[in-house]
Amino acid sequence: MSTLKRFFQDTIIYGIATVVPRLLNFILVPLHTGILGTGHYSINTTFYIWAAFFNVLLTYGMETSFFRFFSRADDKKKVFSTSFMALTVTTLLFFGLGMLFRDSFMNFLDLDPFFFNILFSVLILDTLVVVPFAYLRATNRPIRFASIKLLNVCIVFAVNLYLLWLVPKFPAIAPEYILNHFSEKDILGYIFLANLAASVVTFLILLPYFFKTKIQFSFSLLKQMWKYGWPIMLAGISFIINENLDKLLLKDILSEEIMGAYSGCYKLAVFMMIYIQAFKMGAEPFFFNHAKEKNAKTTYAKILNYFVITGGLILLVLVSFIDIFKEYLIRDEDYWVAMSIVPVILLANLFLGIYHNLSVWYKLTDRTRMGMYISIFGALITIVLNVTLIGKFGFMVAAWATLAAYGSMMLISYFFGRKYYRVPYNVKKIGFYLLLSIALSAVSFIYFRQNYIVGALFVLIFVGITYFKEQEDIKKILKRS
């Protein structure tokens, strides 16, 4: 079990680097939804949608390509140097195009000049540090990685708290310069400036890695990395479509207010997203580094089993106590009109997490194009359902479309994985835990909503059954070496 222990230890550390930032950002949700009306929250959401989209476009799969080639390379410095130089050059080219066609960009993104300048700056800085961050993960330095990530989000949190709460509530503590330039009309700008400040500090911390190695650029290596990575880029763009197109369409088809309410309630699924991201951060380098081990496939199968158990528990807890979270985190009742999307979005994200786990087959067999095709198929489901049905049936279509997209991607990946890289997943056991969690969550939300005694009982039932069936493995994992 030592290999599994190492996986869980790294995942916990990466989880901290993911959980704490997401939690701090989540703490900001009541602050933002309390200050911003649903209409302004729509603009806030639009900013981060485009940030996510361009982040995928500008990195063009290089992060995953880096893990793939770095783990197998004899000359690891060449992989680092080539990938770093490639990203730097393409980022500078993007900067030049952005300056040249600035007005066209602003019109397309529907952002005013000030917001666009901040978005553009954040994108440049964050793209330049992708390879240094990937290097830290690939060389098993999760603590340093986590420390920098935590500092980044602490800066975002501190600036938000200072400008959005402390200065308006306690102006006496603010310097005269801040008071002279402070305006509650510029709240959105302050939120975006917090991200820019964090990106600048992160860039400066990782700057030494820019000079870490001699220039060893290999065009042939870059061609291989591009061939491996571009399908991952398209898959990432498809993911952005699955995750965010619904919000943009809600604004265009229904209203900014509905889009803002939907986006605010969507935030309640953050705990599942945190769990999935933490898993992915630990799993991606782990899968590559342990692919040659004798029992690798058995290990991957066990990891999926534990992933579904934990994800099912998170789903059940969040659904059973959703109204408690709602009261504390989204206090403006204007947002509550979209609360019914939360259980559906939670389940959709659990399916997405399973898909990420199953994706080991196309990453280890260099069939990243298959992953691209699967993601594009999911994006097409999202596009068709949202475009054709939102106007007729309202915002719930967006949630169900997300579930349909991620569910179909999960199933397709499983069946193709059986053909190209057969992992001995215990489908009956995994299916049992998944269905048990879904059934208890549905009964709790539909028939016993706000009955927290029943909700707690359902959680205990799930935990008890899981422990009864998994106690031997649980004891082995928890047992100290």
Average of pLDDT values for 176-205? 85
Instruction: Give the type of residue at 349.
Output: N
Neighbours of 479 (CB within 10 A): 9
Percent of the chain scored above 90 by pLDDT? Answer: 26
Q: pLDDT higher for 465 or 474?
A: 465
What is the pLDDT, as a whole number, of residue 1?
46
Helices (H), 101-128: 102-109, 113-128
For helices 2-35 and 270-289, the axis angle rounded to 10 degrees is 150
Task: Looking at mean pLDDT, say which of 33-47, 67-81, 327-341, 399-413 comes out highest.
Answer: 399-413
Per-residue pLDDT band for 337 (boundaries 50, 70, 90) equals confident
Ranges 28-42, 352-366, 404-418: which has the least confidence: 28-42
Among 460, 431, 206, CA closest to 317: 460
The two structure tokens encoding residue 180: 């002279």
What is the pLDDT, as a whole number, of residue 114?
86
Q: Note the pTM of the prediction, 2 decimals.
A: 0.74
d(CA 353, CA 269): 13
Average of pLDDT values for 229-248? 83
What is the pLDDT, as a whole number, of residue 11?
60
Average of pLDDT values for 354-361? 87
DSSP letters, 375-420, are HHHHHHHHHHHHHHHHHHH-THHHHHHHHHHHHHHHHHHHHHHHHH
Dihedral angle over CA of 89, 90, 96, 98, nearest 10: -150
User: How many domains would you assign to the chain?
Assistant: 1
What is the pLDDT, as a whole number, of residue 291?
66
Ranges 221-230, 310-319, 448-457: which has the least confidence: 221-230
What is the pLDDT, as a whole number, of residue 480?
47
In the predicted structure, residue 328 carries a pLDDT above the cut 80: no
Ranges 327-331, 408-412, 444-448: which has the least confidence: 327-331
C-alpha triplet 300, 303, 305: angle, nearest 5°: 115
Q: pLDDT higher for 203 or 303?
A: 203
Per-residue pLDDT band for 477 (boundaries 50, 70, 90) equals low
Name 342's Cβ contacts closer than 8 Å, sequence gap at least 6.
Answer: 265, 266, 268, 269, 318, 319, 322
What is the pLDDT, as a whole number, of residue 347?
95
Dihedral angle over CA of 439, 442, 447, 448, nearest 10: 90
Q: Which domain holds residue 107?
A: 2-478
Task: Looking at mean pLDDT, say which of 31-40, 44-53, 313-322 comes out highest.
Answer: 313-322
pLDDT per residue as tens digits for the range 254-298: 888 888 888 888 888 877 887 887 777 666 667 766 667 777 788
Place of tokens 């066209």: 104
**pLDDT mean across residues, the chain:** 84
What is the pLDDT, as a whole number, of residue 481?
42
pLDDT per residue as tens digits for the range 69-128: 877 777 778 888 888 889 989 999 998 898 888 888 888 887 888 888 898 999 999 999
d(CA 157, CA 198): 9
Average of pLDDT values for 188-194? 87
